[in-house]
Structure 1
Amino acid sequence: MSITFSKTGQAMPEKTVKLDTSAFDTISGTEVYWLGNSSLLINSRGTIILIDPILDSFDMPLLIDMPIASRDIPRVDALLISHIDNDHLAFDTLENIKGQTKSFHAPAYVADVMKEKGFVTQEHAVGEVFEVNGIKIKPTPTKHNWQSEKEKYNFREWKEEEYVGYWIETLDGTIWLPSDSRLLPEHLEMDNPDLIFFDFSDNEWHIGYDNALLEAKTYPKADLVCIHWGSIDAFDWAVFNGNPDKLREDVVNPERVHDLAVGGKLRLTKK
């Protein structure tokens, strides 16, 4: 996909691909969709997994159109939340798909907040494997408790275990979402994933660009689906200003970099 640019110079995807309900049909393999910023959809042989969906009432201006209205989502087998930040957890969206969602999953604290809002949520710790229709899912460690450095948020202790990534094993291959995180030693010691939802944000509480290249080099065959870029209208926030074309210039095996359109999909293949 070719990159376009906003008036203030932010790299952004081309026109949004609108999703219809066929994206939720039973299929023969596994397909992943980027829904903008960090919102993700996985259809694995008809099992639908949503991760950090935000399709309504975003609290910052957007560069993109949404690929589907949350009320039009017909069904979800599991909805996973990685952490509490507003660009990953939106209760307007969750409320609109609550009736169509079979199960909600989140780390400590986030699960409690969701329960307080009326969502029956299963809490999972790092390393705890759970299954959804035979798909094995394991939360992975992160370090993203940036609130601990801000006086505004000192009303509680923000613990690392309240922020997670997800390791997802399907019949068609393994998907890894490291999520928002500084690079940890564990991130370079994983089994080889077939696909990484790849945050390459150059930010001190994210992986940082050079460390993103190191992570990609560690797993040289994994498809890299770019996330956390081209969606939020914030030219002066490095965390929203990744450029997949720049990534392709620097990464090992650049042909595996996928800068999907919002609503675009990629078929999962074993490497």
Structure 2
Amino acid sequence: MLLLKLLFSLLILLAILVYVVNMTLVAKVKLQNANTAAPYQQGRFRNHAPSTPRSLLDAARLWIRFFTEKKVDTKPDIKIPVRPLRQQHLTSLSDNTIHIVKLGHSSILLKVYGEYWLLDPVFSERASPFQFIGPERFHTPPLSLAELPKLDKVLISHNHYDHLDKASIKLLAGKTEQFFVPIGVDGDLEKWGVPTSKIKTFDWWQEEPTSQGMIAFTPCQHFSGRGIGDSNSTLWGSWVIKTPQHNLYFSGDSGYFSGFKEIGETYGPFDLTMIETGAYDKDWATIHMKPEESVQAHIDLKGKVMMPIHNGTFDLAFHTWHDPFDRVVAAAKQQDVDLTTPEFGQIFSINDPAKLQIWWTATINDKGETSVTST
């Protein structure tokens, strides 16, 4: 009887939470019957690969699993090494190449020939619509939003809470020249105070010239949604950044699919691929890659050096927190792929990628100094 009462209480709490989350939903696709490169039917975007919608029973089983399955080692038992950054560290960098900083999860700061670009910025304590519940950060960001210099561009891959952070966007609105977002995501940004004139929406394969080359929004295999009823009403995708000297690829979130080869054929080879490697599971295997698939995606893209992202910051699945790193290192070694695993806040140049560092087994001495293994 006690178990039934507890389950009933949890269901009520969940229903309230879902209702409140849904009430915060803003983003809507403005175009009806949109003529897009991405499959679009009855107000919903779709992946090219056919998929079977999750039934209510499947959804219920997944929720039960979340509430009942015991998680093991999903949060770090070490102090995550973070290199603190200040604005002067960034301004002192040269303007004749591309510099890269992994800030956490999938948040990446680029200095592109003197311009500052930010990818999927999430600076909040939790990847959640609320800051009192939901996945909590394992580490602080290497620098605060206030320490960021003025940004030329912010690029968003899709509208999930661990990639599109309301609090971060509101604070970035006044210090960013342009926001590049998938179709439909402009609805949220406008609501949060970003002027419409600063926002440009992108369809799959849409290109935009920049002062140093061009940007392209490319497909991936995922989904979107921030509340009940808005599933797939906004687009998702990946980003290609091309300059006369260098090519970069940012995957956003994706399951493994044939599109990586098409992107590689169209825009590759890439000097650096930043590829999702984390938050995978058998119950959502088509929309998040296993580490071995992430390495294969890098190969399909004709990448030279791979940086695993979407890891080390939030607990979003059932695997151990270090499993993505352990498995991607093994897979990269087996496939003879060059891997870079910088610490959060570590700056490296596209011309000189950071070495492979096994920082997730780091030890911290009494002075708070970090000792990591480099290979």
How far 1:157 sits from its partner (Å)? 5.0
- Given candidates 263, 266, 270, the residue that maps to 2:348 is 266
- Given candidates 73, 89, 114, the residue that maps to 1:8 is 73
**1:193 matched to which residue of 2?**
270
| Cα-to-partner distance string for 1:192-238 (whole Å, 9 max, x where unaligned) | 2110002123342212333223223335652111211111145x534
**2:290 matched to which residue of 1?**
208
CA contact (8 A) 1:79 1:101 kept: yes
Runs of 4+ displaced beyond 6 Å:
none
| Cα-to-partner distance string for 1:20-62 (whole Å, 9 max, x where unaligned) | 1131455321111100001011111211110111112423211
Structure 1 unaligned runs (5+)?
A: 1-6
CA distance in 2, matches of 1:146, 1:78: 22
How far 1:8 sits from its partner (Å)? 2.5
One-letter code aligned to 1:231: T
CA distance in 1, matches of 2:181, 2:74: 35
Alignment of structure 1 residues 122-141 onto 2, 5 Å: 122-141=200-219
Structure 2 unaligned runs (5+)?
A: 1-71, 129-134, 353-375
**2:230 matched to which residue of 1?**
156
Alignment of structure 1 residues 110-259 onto 2, 5 Å: 110-120=185-195, 121-145=199-223, 153=228, 155-159=229-233, 162-189=235-262, 190=264, 191-201=268-278, 202-203=280-281, 204=285, 205-219=287-301, 222-233=304-315, 236-238=317-319, 242-251=323-332, 252-254=335-337, 256-259=338-341
| Count of matched residue pairs | 258
The TM-score, its normalising length taken from structure 1, stands at 0.85
CA contact (8 A) 1:181 1:206 kept: yes
CA distance in 2, matches of 1:84, 1:241: 25
Alignment of structure 1 residues 25-36 onto 2, 5 Å: 25=92, 26-36=94-104
CA contact (8 A) 1:35 1:262 kept: yes
How far 1:246 sits from its partner (Å)? 2.7
One-letter code aligned to 2:110: I
Larger Rg, first or second structure (1 or 2): 2
| Residues 1:95 and 1:146: Cα distance change in structure 2 (over 3 Å) | closer
1:74 and 2:182 matched: no
One-letter code aligned to 1:166: W
**1:4 matched to which residue of 2?**
none
Q: Which has the higher contact order (CA 8 A, sep 6+)?
A: 1
CA RMSD of aligned residues (A): 2.7
One-letter code aligned to 1:8: D
How far 1:142 sits from its partner (Å)? 1.4
**1:18 matched to which residue of 2?**
84
| Cα-to-partner distance string for 1:79-98 (whole Å, 9 max, x where unaligned) | 01110000001121122222
| Residues 1:242 and 1:102: Cα distance change in structure 2 (over 3 Å) | farther
One-letter code aligned to 1:185: S
| Residues 1:239 and 1:87: Cα distance change in structure 2 (over 3 Å) | farther
CA distance in 1, matches of 2:340, 2:103: 14
Q: Name the % identity.
A: 17
The TM-score, its normalising length taken from structure 2, stands at 0.63
Give 3-state SS (helix, strand or coil) of 2:151's partner: coil
| Residues 1:147 and 1:79: Cα distance change in structure 2 (over 3 Å) | closer
1:39 and 2:107 matched: yes
Give 3-state SS (helix, strand or coil) of 1:130's partner: strand
Give 3-state SS (helix, strand or coil) of 2:146's partner: helix
Give 3-state SS (helix, strand or coil) of 2:189's partner: helix
CA distance in 2, matches of 1:64, 1:41: 17
One-letter code aligned to 1:102: E
How far 1:253 sits from its partner (Å)? 2.2
